[in-house]
Amino acid sequence: IQLGDTDISKSVAMLLIAAASALAVSVAAFCKRNFLPCPSVLRHYILMITLPAVSVGFAVYMLLDNDKLGRYHEEVARLEYLGENADWDGILRTVSRQDALRNKFARRYVLLALSETGRLPDYAFSYGLSDADDFLFQQEDYLFCRSFNVLFYRALGLTNPAVYHSYHYSLQSSYGVCFDAVRYLADLYIGLKDYTLAKKYIDILSHTSCHGRWIRERQAAMNRIRNSEPSYSGSPDRFIFTSFIPDMTSLVQRYPESRKYVDYLLCATLAEEDAESFLRIFSQYGPYAYKNGIPVPRLYQEALVLIASQNPDVLKRFNVEKEIWNCFVDFTDLMQKGRSSEAKRKYAETYWAYVY
């Protein structure tokens, strides 16, 4: 089930290969000890070592290295584990930039990790952000997409859609339930102080053999909410993203001081190359999100400089570091001289290289 082998054909193949390898090693051992009649050439010590080694090596290759689908499932499971445990730095260590560029699943996990560590504006485009849909799965309906969406909404503090995707994640599983989804639901209901529902899912996990420590770690939280009223307030944040930019705009309008929301919205508009919307949103919400001396990310300054090339008044309203302006002048100079490849290579990490 872990490898998606619902018809057990892969499992049977693995067993047959392992059995054949074991048989080859056993035959070699019997021949060596004269338990089986065989030509003397087969008793040569080099052959006696080589045959089992080749058999074992072939078995390992067929079972592990050659199983591309199994390896992909392993990568998915690793990212899900790191995400569930909020090990965002672990995700950034696991997924290289090349992996993020060619794998949209890994890219979403990296973008989520960058957001949770406050580095989304610094590296989003380096890891392949190309449009607003790169932030979550809106059309895809696979299990691993549901799992990611739970983590995405939970990170945004949107409990209702996180519960929704957890239920669908469980229902779409092979047996109509899966440990990941049950853990998600238990944690979400603990956060909502709904003791009855949280206990329901913890009781389910208590009948498994691998959740003892996980349950003990939540016992204190369960005791705290035992006599609490569930916190199902009349929060307006009970929606599921159908269109990323309009929905994130709604969140930013409600919580203008949330730098996480503002960064998501600004990066999305930049990915769509919507300079007009970026300038409007940054003008309105930037002062809230980046106040008290918090520096404006280099990405936003690069976008402002690019906009200023068509609208110079922008630089009268916002401060841009002199170094960034000088780099932009050099970039445009190279482009005008027909040396675009050199310009994009020299300034590969900039927003200008993404636009041009």
Q: How far apart are CA 262 and CA 258, in angstroms?
A: 6
pLDDT score at 1: 44
Specify burial of residue 345 (Cβ count, 10 A radius: 0-12, 13-18, 19+). Answer: exposed
How many of the other CB atoms lie within 10 Å of CB of 191?
16
pLDDT score at 53: 74
Amino acid at 131: D
Q: What angle do CA 163, 164, 168 make, to 5 degrees?
A: 115
pLDDT score at 2: 47
Amino acid at 209: S
Q: What angle do CA 43, 48, 51 make, to 5 degrees?
A: 130
Name the DSSP letter for residue 42. Answer: G
In the chain, DSSP assigns E strands to none
Q: How far apart are CA 123 and CA 126, in angstroms?
A: 5
Residue 98 region by backbone torsions, left for phi larger than 0, else alpha for psi between -120 and 50, else beta: alpha
- Residues 22-33 have pLDDT tens digits of 776 666 666 656
Cβ contacts of 113 within 8 Å, gap of 6 or more: 83, 88, 89, 91, 92
Q: How far apart are CA 231 and CA 118, in angstroms?
A: 28
Q: How far apart are CA 223 and CA 205, in angstroms?
A: 17
- Residues 217-267 have pLDDT tens digits of 999 999 999 999 888 765 555 667 788 999 999 999 999 999 999 999 999
Residues of the chain with pLDDT under 50: 1-3
| Cα dihedral value 292, 159, 125, 302, nearest 10 | -30
Name the DSSP letter for residue 132. Answer: G
Cα–Cα distances (Å) from 329 to 66, 126, 312, in that order, read: 50, 21, 14
Q: How far apart are CA 80 and CA 73, in angstroms?
A: 10
